[in-house]
Amino acid sequence: MTEPTNAIPLAGVTVLGEKSIEVARLWVTDGGGSTVFIDARRMPDASMFGMLLADTAGHAANAYAGALGITPEEALERVWAGLDKERAAPSGSMELTDPFGKKS
Say what the pLDDT of residue 102 is.
Answer: 57
- For residue 31, give the amino acid letter: G
pTM (two decimals): 0.79
11-54 pLDDT per residue, tens: 889 999 899 999 999 999 988 888 888 999 999 999 999 999 99
43-87 pLDDT per residue, tens: 999 999 999 999 999 999 999 999 999 999 999 999 999 999 999
Is the alpha carbon torsion for 95, 96, 102, 104 positive or negative?
negative
Measured in degrees and rounded to the nearest 5, phi and psi for residue 9 equal -70, 130
Say what the pLDDT of residue 4 is.
Answer: 80
Helix (H) or strand (E) holding 36: strand 34-38
